[in-house]
Structure 1
Amino acid sequence: MLAVHDLEIRVGARTLMSEVSFRVSDGDKIGLVGRNGAGKTTLTKVLAGDLPPADGKVERSGELGYLPQDPRSGDPEMLARTRILDARGLGTLALQMHEASIEMGDADEKVAAKAMRRYGNLTERFEALGGYAAEAEAASIAHNLSLPDRILDQPLKTLSGGQRRRIELARILFSDAQTMILDEPTNHLDADSVVWLREFLKNYKGGLIVISHDVELVGETVNRVFYLDAMRQVIDIYNMNWKNYLRQRVADEERRKKERANIEKKATALQLQAAR
């Protein structure tokens, strides 16, 4: 869950938005939209805690999964598979179990006995966190994001930017995070992976904020739309699906256009009166 109170965000001397308040609860699937440069990505960084706001506060409860446009998190030496599994604390445990299983065959009986006890303790913890079923779930997510074993078995430092991004997306989707913030999640995905991701997000039960140029993904998944208006420095909140939002947005723009015309007309009349 996210709760935003009187948020103000600035970049240098420029104010992107002010007095912004909203909540994101389970089941809320929000499409964050606005023209390029309006501040959508900056807002997601503030919501995720990567940037401080100029004013106001963001309250977070439960685990938050954040996919930035250029993810750089994780130990570069870590295997990609371990990075994904560690979203639920399984990756490092699996490595430790493998190491203990090797030591169990040691010629020194004391070393072997100690390794056996360690393996038993690690296995208990592994199974308590979902064990092999969770491992299979992670493998399925990776497969659907076109991440074959040859990539999963490589250290993060050897992967391209696109591969790193898919690893981080897989990690977030596997994490069971209560809230997800995804900035252009379809970047570097092939067509089959995009279709699979749409279905995953449609069935996701937590809170979601997504920035995406994939109109079909937004159209099929979101039930609320946040429009960041750079000119007015506000977020217009539409509690409706994408199709209804598009219609309502046109009506709102037409109404504001008429309001501006009336204001300008009155201003001109006042100027004429003053001139007399």
Structure 2
Amino acid sequence: MLIVKDLEITIGARTLMSEVNFRVASGDKIGLVGRNGAGKTTLTKILAGDGQPSSGSVERIGEIGYLPQDPRTGDPEELARDRILNARGLGDLLRQLASTAEAMSTATGAEAEKTMTKYSKLEERFQAAGGYAAEAQGAAIASNLGIEERILSQPLKTLSGGQRRRVELARILFSSAETMLLDEPTNHLDADSVVWLRDFLRSYQGGLIVISHDIDLVENTVNRVFYLDANRQVI
């Protein structure tokens, strides 16, 4: 949930918006529309905690999934698959399970017993996080966003901007965040992926704020529209 109180955003001498009050609860799906430069991206950054308003406050309750236009978070050495799965802590657990299983194959005596105990504890944590069903869900999301297997096996630092953005979008959709803030989520997606994303967002039960030039996506996913234009915001 987001609770916004008396928000004001200025850039230099220009006031983008003022006296803004609203909340985003589960089921609220909001489209931010307006001309370029009206403050849509700036507002979204502030809502995500990636920037500060000139005055007012933003209260964030629960997990927030934020897709900026140019994602740069995450360890550049992390594999794309792990980046997605680690939204629920699964990527690291899978790697630990694999390395522990390998160690079990050569361990003997007391060391073998210790390794088996470690593996059992890791498996319990993995199952508690959703297990192989969750892993399959993450793989399905990646596939529907056009992320190929070869991309999933690459570290983030080797990905193009478009590939990196699709990976971050997949991570957010997989995370089960209670509120999602998506800035132009259809960029770098093909037509089939856009249709799939539209259906996903339509069925999403949490709170959503989306900026998109894709009119069909907005019309079919949001139930409220905030219009921003040269300090004449309607929120």
Q: TM-score range by the shorter chain?
A: over 0.9
Q: Does 1:200 align with 2:161?
A: no
Matched letter for residue 218 of structure 2? V
User: Aligned with 1:95: secondary structure?
Assistant: helix
Structure 2 gap segments, 5+ residues each: none
CA distance in 1, matches of 2:191, 2:107: 52
CA distance in 2: counterparts of 1:107 and 1:137, whole angstroms: 33
What is the CA–CA distance in structure 1 between the aligned matches of 2:107 and 2:26, rounded to whole Å? 54
- List aligned pairs for 1:1-276, cutoff 5 A: 1-230=1-230, 233-237=231-235
Which amino acid in the other structure matches residue 227 of structure 2? Y
Q: Deviations over 1:49-99 (max 9, x none)?
A: 000111000001010000000000110011111110111111111111111
RCO higher in 1 or 2 (8 Å CA, sep ≥ 6)? 2
With the length of structure 2 as denominator, give the TM-score of the two structures.
0.98
Q: Which moved more, 1:102-111 or 1:52-61?
A: 102-111
Residues paired across the two proteins, number: 235
CA distance in 2, matches of 1:19, 1:223: 22
- Mapped contact 2:142–2:170 kept (Cα < 8 A): yes
Q: Is the 8 A contact 1:30 1:210 kept in 2?
A: yes
The Cα of 1:211 is off from its aligned counterpart by 0.3
- Residue 227 of structure 1 aligns to a residue whose secondary structure is strand
Alpha-carbon distance in structure 2 between the residues aligned to 1:155 and 1:103? 25
The code of the aligned residue for 2:36 comes to N
Question: Where does residue 273 of structure 1 map in the other structure?
Answer: none
CA contact (8 A) 1:10 1:54 kept: yes
Deviation at 1:43, TM superposition (A): 0.4
Inter-partner Cα distance in structure 1 for 2:111 and 2:149:
32
Cα shift at 1:24 = 0.6
Structure 2 residue matching 1:236: 3-state secondary structure: coil
Q: How many Å separate the matches in 2 of 1:185 and 1:122?
A: 34
Helix, strand or coil: the match of 1:87?
A: coil
Please tell me the residue identity of whatever aligns with 1:89.
G
SS in 1 for 2:208: strand
Taking the aligned partners of 1:184 and 1:38, their CA distance within structure 2 comes to: 15
State the SS of the aligned residue for 1:126.
Answer: helix
Q: Distance in 2 between matches of 1:61 and 1:234?
A: 28
Distance in 2 of aligned mates of 1:78 and 1:111:
30
Query: How many Å separate the matches in 1 of 2:72 and 2:110?
Result: 42
Counterpart contact for 1:103–1:111, Cα < 8 Å: no
Give per-residue Cα distances to partners, 1:131-172, cap 9 Å, x unaligned.
Answer: 000000000000000112111111111111100000000000
Alpha-carbon distance, 1:113 to partner:
2.6
Q: Distance in 2 between matches of 1:104 and 1:56?
A: 56
Distance 2:200 2:223 in 1: 15
Whole-Å separation in 2 of the counterparts to 1:73 and 1:20: 29
> How far apart, CA to CA, are the structure 2 residues paired with 1:42 and 1:228?
11
Contact 1:19/1:234 (<8 A) preserved: no
Residues 107, 115 of structure 2: 8 Å contact kept: no
Which has the higher Rg, Structure 1 or Structure 2?
1
Q: What residue identity is the alignment partner of 2:10?
A: R
Structure 2 counterpart of 1:241:
none
